[in-house]
Amino acid sequence: MKVLVINAGSSSMKFTLFSMADKKVLAKGQFERLGTDKPNMIYKRLSDGLKFEGIVPVKNLEEALKRVCAKLVDPADGVMKELSEIVAIGHRVLLGGEKITKPVKVDEEVKAIIREYIPLGPLHNPANLAGIEACEAAMPGVPNVAVFDTQFHMTMPPEAYLYAIPYEYYRKYGIRKYGFHGTSHRYVTLATADFLGKKPEDVTLITCHLGNGCSMAAVKNGKVIDTTMGLTPLEGLMMGTRSGDLDPAVVIRLIDQGHTSKEVDTILNKKSGLYGVGGINSGDMRDMITAAEGGNEQAELALKMFARRVVKYIGAYYVLLGGVDALVFTGGVGEYSVPMRKRITSQIEVLGVKLDDARNKECFGKAGVISTDDSAWKMIVMPTDEELMIAKDTVATLGL
């Protein structure tokens, strides 16, 4: 039973083909720089390490998907004889508001709801929808399942998801905290519970998905009670290019200074965060650490700000949860940035937990405990696998 997972973005498309009998990845890859004159395709076959990378001229997601499909059944490079072996396609979708809170088989009504929430997800929802429609065109009759980024966060109570603005705006416009990266937070919650030898409903965690996009979740007895991202993925932590939390008056001030709302949106989403503060023309954590180690004071400031935001939320969530079983790091930065994990954890020893430097270095992209044995609770690195979570949700939704 083969399931294809698609994560379509505004200029990229990631794909993973699973054999669900043994939960193994058969092939994976992505298209980058879609919409430019040099779209780049990366394709990997996992059984023998075969890899293809190169410029493949395609105009849009639909053409990109056709190239992927051709590669999957290619006699030399493929992993199956024909596309009919794919029984379902799972899609990462940003937002379905309060109307869709669980994985769902895609039909015209579902697509209409995804379109309805484009104003809250202008970059993601259109691309997610385009990915679904590209799959419908390339593989007619194969069921598509939408798995929403917000799903895991729907257990938040009203006091967590409402903003302190007139209640009518929640009712009229759906303005509330939705939270994102939910598939990742859910996966690492389940994986960490298993790692600790507990049931999901018996674990209380602070999960930190740190990458180019960053979010944290307070998970009590396996369910989210709060998360850092809000109405959009802009709220919360400082990120690669996103500002995270700020005084709403900053937006008003920028508009008063002559910036349009669209310009302010671009500033806060694409020109802020590590990129905006660090001053090295990059929002990549690795580049920022290298610059700071080389004596760049502005880069060092950006790193201090990044760590401070995470530490603040750890403290807040620790109190909200009444103590935790573990603090979990995941995502590209969370899994691989040994220096940033040290910057963060060195500031929370007051909570009874201490970093083991040797363990921290050993856990480079792999699961493990990085706190000392005498710590009151654990700090853990847990690699995420959003694609596998989406594949499992797809199978469960369709009852396969």
Burial grade of 112 (CB within 10 A; 0-12, 13-18, 19 or more): exposed
What is the C-alpha separation between 146 and 96, in angstroms, rounded? Answer: 10
Burial grade of 399 (CB within 10 A; 0-12, 13-18, 19 or more): exposed
Give 3-state DSSP helix, strand, coil % of the chain, rounded to 5: 40, 20, 40
Cβ atoms 278, 291 nearer than 8 A: yes
Catalytic residue among 22, 48, 107, 149: 149
Q: What is the DSSP string of 110-138?
A: HHHHHHHTGGGSTTHHHHHHHHHHHHHHH
* Secondary structure element (H or E) that encloses residue 40, with its range: strand 40-45
Phi, psi at 318, each rounded to 5°: -60, -45
What is the C-alpha separation between 118 and 276, in angstroms, rounded? Answer: 26
In order of 128, 148, 215, 247, 365, the CA distances from 102 in angstroms are 16, 7, 20, 33, 30
**Of 300, 371, 380, 376, nearest in space to 334 by CA:** 380
Is 149 catalytic? The answer is yes
In order of 129, 150, 247, 253, the CA distances from 99 in angstroms are 16, 11, 30, 34
Query: Quick one: tokens of 4?
Result: 């294809």
Query: Quick one: tokens of 223?
Result: 């369910």
Phi, psi at 8, each rounded to 5°: -95, 130
Q: Active-site residue numbers? A: 149
